[in-house]
């Protein structure tokens, strides 16, 4: 952060933190010790009645922090024992921590944890498969390597897979106002939870006891008066569990967030023209006549089949004259080109500014009911049911009339190859118009009159975007979830748990603005669509060209499991506990193909389906041999109905020579089962990523920047039934320091190796290089296929009109799913908690959570090491979001009497704009110097790095009485701007939404109240 404004912003942020610590602030929190309820961690449920002391704290009075007496971490062990539960590194987000930071959604809470890294998905991710969803990627190992639980039980995965094949639970679909706290287990936990816990486990723990009526209301907006947000919750509970033996409550929740546009945030987040920053202008919509805009440009060509607008040919001799159909309809001015390949005038546009959004509109509502009942002195039961609905509305850039054929469709359907044209004649039937009795000259074709007698010579090749047809999608996700269980004491030292869960996600995606192929061709041949004045088109003709397409999908999970626990004997350090259990889980997925009939341009054809039954047995033994040393051993075997199985062991130990100091370590082995998209041949994947052709290709295409600039290159794969699970080994070593009752600190080193990575096309870069290393299509495709089995050309672009004999672009190629490579993730976690009384009734509460990524390396089968830490890699798997080396947050609260003031500072370290998975190795080594930066560097300055980003949220609250608490929150207090990231995906122009989202939203105000009666 070298600029003066940047230094000033950092200074103000620091002052804000110090002010939050030192200013007379104002609040009192109920800090009476309470004991939280244990959850069976083998995807299980609450423990026996003898162990229960449910939380009855009202909403207006948050529970104590994790470092205060009485809180028991329950994630990662079968046993309700503080020794066993503190062996593994765990981050706890209590209701007090969340309330102080004014965090009101599951995705905000979980993604604030510093261990969340490369590959995570934020709500601001508005493109691709997971648009509207949110997910966590612990340790940078991917969303499919993190297990998300609610009360220790799984939920159904989001029906759409991230990147077409990674499964995850959508955080936006989880009702949040019933959550008491969140525990994030940050080591391999497959020995307890089974597949996919390689990176760690997130466990959201619900409140168990609510009496009376409580709720909250909140509303606000950004400093720019957009992105409005509202939230309301209401919970009604009855029954005192301690006195009456039962409690039942019903909860409702509503949340709304409004649009934020790129236009409203201005430069550099609304343009690809970075000349003011000394960087290149990548916006071709204001300097190239062959890049489509909402005002049509045409050039004269021949047409070989007068019935088929897709049969336009390059004229002989080649024409370089282009003209606007309506020169007087340029809302943002014009530009003129006089190059050898293009001559003419076009309408200037900045599409990112005109159409792109930073934040989609989203509303969520849910209802939850829970019953807890004591069946006898030794038995208890519970049941819960919830329904949530998430609605996301996304706006996009208008569709281009020039597109490749649908993935899997015939090349003859491509409107870009050789290029769609407007014919000389039109007629009502659209067939044989050149000879029809009711024919008429095409009013959209300025060359029609001059070629009335030679219609094959007067076609108009058109470059156009359908600006009059709104583009985007509406997505709705309905989640139904019910759980039930019974637990208790069988006598003789035996305790048991038996529980079950059923969850179903129903997803409906309505996509609009995509072009129906036959509807477009018909509208061109009949002249129904007005390309000269598109605003005069009727709704009927727009619907003919672009009918909305709705695609339903669903996923389910049904689980039953149980465990039996027993204390065998008393050891010098405590009880020798043993436990064992079972689980049967049934999972299904039906992610339907949105373009199953290949009738649309641009609509994705990915799909996934499957069903499987997983049976598992597990055990755990906790052996506190002496007070100073505890040994914990666990294991689990999972068998999948596809025919494979896996055993996952884990060993953990803790050494406490003195009460104030402990050493701990864990070692585990785990696995990630193939998703249905990866293993089922009925599943298919097609995806696109940004690519810039090499210099040699650009030199062969002089005078046509539209053909040689960055574009989206596609690859596709089908499920491989022979794919094997990914496997992992992980270990952690750490220390716990508690010098005083009011302060504790943990420092842990983690190291995870994930092998047999399931990847699609690990030689993708080699395949692209092989193609672009040749000069003609036949040789290029042969070279690409020679890279390995399963690689082949799929779609080749039309010849460059300016250089028709040069190698055309590769648009789509096929790749296989294979087990290849391995990945190593290592780093340091630092956590500290302080809660110290000051003079009078004041209290200072401080919480620090920081992760330093030391290593995130992918090692290929050829031994090439791709280093991602501190860079934009893995570029393909993180949507260009990258892997910051340092990420953390520091919360400081000062409470005095009825008032409180809290500052939470968030930090993301700088990121180098290189990506190892986008750089060709030389002699097996990848050069990560700035010479291989993904974005051109200006003369002078340091644009090779995305600068560090720091911002502060401030929350002030006053508790009027036991029933009411009012608060006022300012997010991004100093209005810190997101740093410029010139190498980001062009769909997120110049910013990284995963890490800098708060800097895009800007200063954000909200106010509200909590109440209980």
Per-residue H/E/C for 229-241: EEEEEEEEEECCH
Tokens of 325: 């159909």
pLDDT at 804: 85
Q: Cα dist. 1000→4, 113, 528, 675 in Å?
A: 20, 20, 42, 34
Strand locations in 293-410, DSSP E? Answer: 297-303, 312-313, 323-324, 334-338, 343-347, 357-359, 361-374, 379-396
Give the per-residue pLDDT at 2. Answer: 45
Question: Scanning the structure block, which residue is given the tokens 């605003």?
Answer: 535
Specify the pLDDT at position 416: 85
Pick the closest to residue 348 from 396, 283, 299, 304 (CA basis): 283
pLDDT at 797: 82
Contacts of 387 (CB under 8 A, 6+ apart): 366, 367, 368, 478, 479, 480, 481
> Judging by beta carbons within 10 Å of its beta carbon (0-12, 13-18, 19+), is residue 456 exposed, middle or buried?
middle
**Tens-digit pLDDT profile for residues 241-285:** 989 999 999 999 999 999 999 999 999 999 999 999 888 899 999
CA 945 to chain centre: 23
Label residue 878 exposed, middle or buried (CB < 10 Å: 0-12, 13-18, 19+): buried
pLDDT digits (tens, 9 = 90+) for 36-88: 333 333 444 333 333 333 333 333 333 344 333 345 667 778 887 656 778 99
pLDDT beyond 90 at 834: yes
145 pLDDT more than 70: yes
pLDDT band at 441 (very low <50, low <70, confident <90, very high): very high
Report pLDDT digits (tens) over 613-667.
Answer: 999 999 999 999 999 999 999 999 999 999 999 999 999 999 999 999 999 999 9
Confidence of residue 494 (pLDDT cuts 50, 70, 90): very high
Residue 418: is the preceding peptide bond cis (ω within 30°)?
A: yes
Cα distance between residue 812 and residue 820, in whole Å: 22
- Calculate the alpha carbon distances from 550 to 52, 195, 480, 512, 514 in Å: 47, 33, 21, 9, 12
Q: How many helices and strands in the chain, by DSSP H and E? A: 16, 49
What is the Rg, in whole angstroms, of the alpha carbon atoms belonging to the chain? 30
Q: What is the pLDDT of residue 56?
A: 33
What sign does the dihedral 405-407-411-417 (CA atoms) show? positive
Name the least confident of 30-34, 574-578, 842-846: 30-34
The answer to whether the beta carbons of residues 553 and 507 sit under 8 Å apart is: yes
pLDDT tens digit sequence for 752-783? 999 999 988 888 888 999 999 999 999 999 99
How far is it, in rounded angstroms, from Cα 912 to Cα 502? 44
d(CA 885, CA 140): 11
- CA–CA dist 551, 543 (Å, integer): 17
Q: How many C-alpha atoms does 381 have within 13 Å on its Cβ side?
A: 5
pLDDT tens readout for residues 89-103: 999 999 989 999 999
- Among residues of the chain, what percentage have pLDDT more than 70? 90
- The whole-model pTM stands at 0.88
pLDDT at 276: 92
What is d(CA 205, CA 109) in angstroms, rounded to the nearest whole number? 13
Residue 305 has pLDDT above 80, yes or no: yes
The answer to whether residues 451 and 424 touch, using CB atoms and an 8 Å cutoff, is: yes
Average pLDDT over residues 979-1000: 90
Q: What is the mean pLDDT of residues 538-548?
A: 97
User: Tokens 């993730």 correspond to what residue?
Assistant: 825
Can you give the pLDDT at residue 799?
A: 81
Average pLDDT in the 226-231 region?
Answer: 95
Please tell me the distance from the alpha carbon of residue 653 to that of residue 631, in angstroms, as a whole number.
4
Q: Give mean pLDDT, residues 375-394.
A: 95
Average model confidence (pLDDT) for the chain?
88
Strand (E) or helix (H) holding 560: strand 549-571
**Maximum Cα–Cα distance across the chain:** 104
CA atoms in the 13 A half-sphere facing the CB of 28:
13
741: left (phi over 0), alpha (psi -120 to 50) or beta: alpha
What 3-state DSSP class applies to 967? strand
CA distances from 172 to 28, 479, 483 (A): 31, 11, 20
Helices 777-785 and 764-772 pack at an angle, to 10 degrees, of 160
Alpha-carbon distance of 824 to 755, in angstroms, equals: 9
Question: What is the distance between the alpha carbons of residues 1003 and 221, in angstroms, rounded to a whole number?
Answer: 9
308-352 pLDDT per residue, tens: 999 988 655 557 899 999 999 999 999 999 987 789 999 999 999
């Amino acid at each position: 952060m070298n600029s003066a404004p940047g230094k000033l912003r950092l200074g103000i942020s620091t002052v804000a933190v110090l002010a939050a610590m030192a200013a007379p602030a104002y609040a009192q929190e109920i800090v009476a010790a309470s004991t939280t309820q244990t959850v069976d961690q083998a995807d299980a449920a609450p423990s026996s009645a003898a162990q229960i002391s449910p939380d009855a704290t009202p909403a207006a009075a948050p529970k104590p922090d994790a470092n205060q007496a009485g809180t028991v971490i329950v994630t990662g062990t079968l046993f309700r024992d503080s020794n066993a539960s503190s062996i593994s590194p765990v981050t706890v987000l209590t209701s007090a921590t969340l309330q102080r930071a004014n965090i009101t959604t599951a995705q905000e809470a979980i993604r604030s944890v510093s261990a969340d890294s490369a590959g995570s998905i934020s709500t601001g991710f508005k493109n691709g498969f997971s648009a509207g969803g949110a997910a966590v990627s612990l340790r940078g190992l991917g969303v499919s390597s993190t297990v998300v639980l609610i009360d220790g039980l799984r939920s159904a995965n989001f029906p759409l897979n991230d990147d077409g094949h990674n499964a995850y639970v959508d955080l936006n679909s989880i009702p949040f106002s019933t959550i008491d706290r969140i525990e994030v287990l940050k080591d391999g936990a497959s020995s307890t939870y089974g597949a996919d816990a390689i990176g760690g486990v997130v466990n959201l723990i619900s409140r168990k006891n609510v009496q009376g009526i409580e709720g909250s209301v909140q509303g606000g907006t950004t400093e720019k008066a957009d992105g409005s947000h509202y939230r309301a919750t209401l919970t009604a509970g009855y029954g005192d569990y301690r006195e009456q033996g039962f409690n039942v409550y019903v909860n409702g929740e509503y949340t709304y967030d409004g649009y934020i546009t790129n236009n409203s945030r201005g430069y550099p987040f609304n343009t690809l023209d970075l000349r003011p920053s000394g960087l290149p202008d990548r916006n071709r919509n204001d300097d190239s006549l062959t890049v489509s805009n909402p005002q049509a440009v045409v050039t004269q060509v021949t047409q070989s089949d007068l019935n088929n607008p897709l049969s336009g040919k390059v004229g002989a001799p080649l024409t370089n004259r282009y003209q606007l159909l309506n020169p007087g309809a340029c809302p943002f001015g014009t530009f003129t080109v006089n190059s050898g390949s293009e001559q003419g005038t076009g309408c200037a546009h900045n599409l990112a500014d005109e159409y792109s959004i930073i934040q989609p509109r989203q509303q969520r509502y849910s209802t939850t009911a829970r019953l807890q009942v004591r069946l006898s002195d030794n038995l208890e039961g519970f049941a819960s049911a919830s329904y949530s609905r998430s609605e996301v509305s996304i706006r996009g850039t208008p569709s281009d009339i020039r597109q490749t054929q649908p993935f899997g469709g015939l090349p003859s359907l491509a409107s870009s190859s050789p290029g769609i044209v407007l014919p000389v004649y039109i007629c009502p039937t659209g067939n044989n118009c050149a000879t029809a009795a009711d024919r008429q000259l095409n009013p959209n074709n300025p060359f029609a009159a001059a070629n009335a007698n030679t219609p094959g010579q007067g076609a108009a090749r058109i470059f156009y975007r359908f600006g009059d047809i709104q583009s985007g999608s509406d997505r709705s996700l309905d989640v139904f979830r019910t759980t039930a269980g019974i637990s208790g004491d069988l006598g003789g030292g035996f305790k048991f748990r038996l529980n079950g869960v059923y969850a179903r996600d129903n997803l409906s995606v309505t996509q609009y603005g995509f072009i129906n192929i036959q509807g477009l061709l018909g509208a061109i041949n009949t002249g129904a669509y007005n390309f000269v004045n598109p605003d005069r088109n009727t709704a009927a003709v727009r619907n003919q060209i672009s009918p909305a397409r709705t695609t339903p999908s669903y996923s389910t999970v049904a689980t039953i499991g149980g465990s039996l626990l027993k204390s065998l004997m008393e050891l010098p350090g405590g009880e020798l506990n043993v436990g064992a259990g079972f689980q049967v889980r049934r999972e299904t997925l039906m992610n339907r193909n949105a373009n199953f009939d290949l009738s649309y341009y641009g609509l994705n054809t990915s799909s996934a389906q499957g069903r499987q039954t997983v049976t598992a047995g597990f055990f755990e033994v906790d052996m506190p041999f002496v007070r100073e040393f505890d040994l914990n051993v666990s294991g689990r075997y999972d068998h999948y109905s596809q025919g494979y199985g896996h055993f996952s062991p884990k060993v953990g130990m803790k050494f406490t020579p003195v009460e104030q100091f402990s050493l701990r370590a864990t070692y585990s082995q785990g696995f990630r089962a193939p998703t249905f998209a990866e293993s089922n041949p009925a599943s298919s994947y097609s995806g696109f990523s940004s690519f810039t052709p090499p210099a040699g290709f650009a030199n062969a295409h002089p005078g046509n920047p539209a053909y040689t600039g960055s574009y989206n290159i596609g690859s596709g794969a089908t499920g491989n039934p022979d794919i094997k699970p990914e496997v992992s080994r992980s270990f952690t070593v750490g220390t716990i320091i508690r010098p005083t009752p009011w302060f504790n600190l943990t420092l842990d080193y983690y190291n995870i190796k994930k092998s047999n990575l399931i990847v699609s096309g690990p030689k993708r870069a080699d395949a692209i290089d092989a193609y672009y290393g040749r000069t003609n299509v036949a040789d290029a495709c042969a070279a690409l296929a020679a890279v390995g089995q399963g690689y082949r050309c799929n779609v080749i672009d039309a010849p460059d009109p300016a250089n028709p004999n040069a190698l055309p672009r590769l648009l789509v190629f096929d790749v296989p799913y294979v087990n290849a490579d391995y990945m190593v993730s290592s780093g340091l976690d630092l956590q500290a908690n302080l809660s110290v009384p000051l003079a009078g009734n004041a209290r200072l509460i401080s919480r620090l959570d920081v992760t330093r990524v030391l290593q995130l390396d992918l090692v290929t089968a050829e031994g090439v090491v791709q280093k991602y830490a501190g860079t934009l890699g893995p570029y393909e798997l993180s949507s260009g979001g990258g892997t910051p080396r340092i990420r953390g947050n520091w919360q400081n609260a000062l409470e005095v009497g009825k008032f409180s003031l809290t500052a939470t500072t968030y930090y993301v370290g700088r990121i180098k704009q290189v990506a190892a998975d986008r750089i060709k190795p030389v002699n097996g080594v990848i050069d990560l110097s700035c010479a291989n930066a993904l974005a051109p560097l200006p003369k002078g300055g340091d644009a090779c790095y995305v600068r560090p980003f720091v911002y502060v949220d401030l929350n002030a609250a006053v508790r009027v009485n036991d029933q009411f608490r009012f608060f006022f929150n300012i997010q991004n207090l100093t209005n810190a701007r997101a740093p410029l990231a010139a190498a980001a995906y062009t769909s997120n122009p110049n910013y990284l939404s995963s890490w800098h989202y708060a800097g895009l939203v800007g200063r954000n105000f909200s106010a509200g109240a909590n109440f209980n009666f």
